[in-house]
Amino acid sequence: MSCNGCRILRKGCNDNCVLRQSLQAFESPQAQANATVFVAKFFGRAGLMSFLSSVPQSHRPALFQSLLFEACGRTVNPVNGAVGLLWTGNWNLCQSAVETVLRGGIPRSLPEFSGLAQSSELDEDKTMTCTDREI
């Protein structure tokens, strides 16, 4: 019988399935499926399988969780990802995004992490002039 990861990705499954081993940390079948879809969409199905196949079997659950946190972190904070959220003391946003994914939701990027300055933050005294001068 196919594991939840292979079932949701419509991929053949066997006893040595790297996804089955990687999803052991998630209790519910639906959470396993939701996490698999999200990580596969973020890193690509081939990329996910390549990452998981490149580590020893005992490290696959931890790697899958790490990929899930990084995908959620990059969704919330596209510039700095999960490390940026941890560095700025906003790790709870990454954890909330992971919980949202496991429940079947879609985490959203927050404007303050987009890397773009707000119009109110721009200094009006500084202007940039472009000229058509040949160099």
Residues found in the chain: 135
- Confirm whether 60 is domain-assigned: yes
The range of the structural domain enclosing residue 21 comes to 4-109
Answer whether residue 70 is part of any domain: yes
Record the pTM. 0.79
Tokens matching residue 79: 């510039």
Q: What's the pLDDT score for residue 74?
A: 94
User: How does DSSP assign 109-126, residue by residue?
Assistant: --GGGSSPPPGGGS-TT-
How many domains is the chain built from?
A: 1
Residue 33 contacts by C-beta under 8 Å, 6 or more apart in sequence? 4, 5, 7, 8
Asked if the structure places residue 67 within a domain, the reply is: yes
Give the tens place of pLDDT for each residue, 43-99.
Answer: 999 999 999 999 999 999 999 999 999 999 999 999 999 999 999 999 999 999 999
Let me know if 1 is exposed, middle or buried by CB neighbors in 10 A (0-12, 13-18, 19+).
Answer: exposed
User: How much is the pLDDT for 116?
Assistant: 53
Half-sphere exposure of 15 (CA within 13 A, CB side): 0
Decide if 119 is inside a domain.
no
In a domain? residue 135:
no
pLDDT in tens, 67-76: 999 999 999 9
